Amino acid sequence: MKLINQRRSLAAIAIMFTFCISVSVLIENASGFEGARKDDARKPNIVILYSDDAGYADFGFQPQCAPDMRELTPHIDSIAADGVRFSNAYMSGSVCSPSRAGLMTGRYQERFGFDNNLPPGTKSGLDRSESFGAKRLQKIGYKTGLIGKWHLGYPAEYHPNERGFDWFYGLLQGSRRYFPIENVSPHRVILDNKTPTKEVGYVTDRFGDAAVRFIEESKEEPFFLFVSFTAPHSPNEPNRNDLHRVEHIKKKRRRNYAGLVVSLDDNVGKILEAIKSNGIENDTLVIFTNDNGGQTLTGANNGELKGKKGTLWEGGVRVPWAMKMPDTIEPGTVVDDPIISLDILPSIFELAGHSVEADWKLDGRSFVPLINGDAKTLPTRTLYWRQGGSNGPIALREGNWKLIHNRQETGSAAQLFDLSTDLGETTDLAGTRPEVLKSLNRKLVDWESDLQQPLWGRGSQRTISQQRDRN
């Protein structure tokens, strides 16, 4: 009897030991599953809303917004209100296609000969040895879409579908009419991937509707969507239904320009609503910015900034920039650190949990620490610009110092400005701060030594040869 009781006790202990082991294994597996779930959490969606030629002072979220535009951009303004406004934001180019080339590759476009706008009908485009960020995102599981303006190459091998975009809905050239064109050219027709579409409707609305379609069809997987609006690039053809909203503006050119901005804002609103209604708002980073400085010749207002589109003054390269991502960016944040479009790709990859490979040779850096609260500021760096090759204008910004040398102008010299006290670049300090001028000039020389001459346009080998022939 005593032996039976001992055996029963041993059996009970064994059962209890087995139970404890099982519970332990279950807890460990549950912990492991939780860890895996966190590691495999959905990558964030990225939506870039890119306006074209808009003025620095033409959006309500800008502190220096022009009074006639202050109430016209509520949807765009909501991005800054719900997220962050960057007060020192730049494009890497001062005209349309170079700025896109820099943003798409994360590299200074002058490194691969893209100083100048791509002329219509050019038989090449952005160097095919350069990798697009979209293609890199495809490799880590992103669905990619480009809506609107391309302007990076016309031949078939340069088509967006060949450069990393799963879906393209837009035009290959840099601009077109906003209304249907009777005999539309192959580079101005709106393509659905590679198929021409019918000339119907208002172009800005078509792009907004296409973006909504992409979001609704892609919401179950991480996606990258670049909405490259043509608005408010010329021609100044506002939607007639919007004219009553801008009738307070007396000058016709400015009024028609404002009508383009109103339509832009309406379609940004469509896109924001699609993100929200499809339940992916908390998983989506939305960036709104502009492709270069405002084109004052068509009605844009750059406020106190000197210059306009096509120059390397602040009015040519400084842009409005707002972003939002609930649960990551504190609403109403303002970041004063200088950022540049080249920073977008490394930031996306950090948010997606993937490191940037050294052999990508990106020129930007992640701004994620500035938007998630990990850092109030980042180490000072130097930003660079050039246009038209080694005889064209060149500039840099380091800290508050801005150096610009308009080398295309006879008798010009490098000029130096302190942007912290002189945002309008009115007082040249080159004569009073020669040590700063010398140091920054040396950095410009070093940077330019790694650049390629333009492949087309001003400063290219062809134009240099033509000038020699004329002489």
The CA distance from 9 to 70, in Å, is: 83
List the one residue out of 366, 330, 315 whose CA is nearest residue 345.
Answer: 366
Check: CB of residue 263 under 8 Å from CB of residue 238: yes
Catalytic residues, which ones? 96, 151
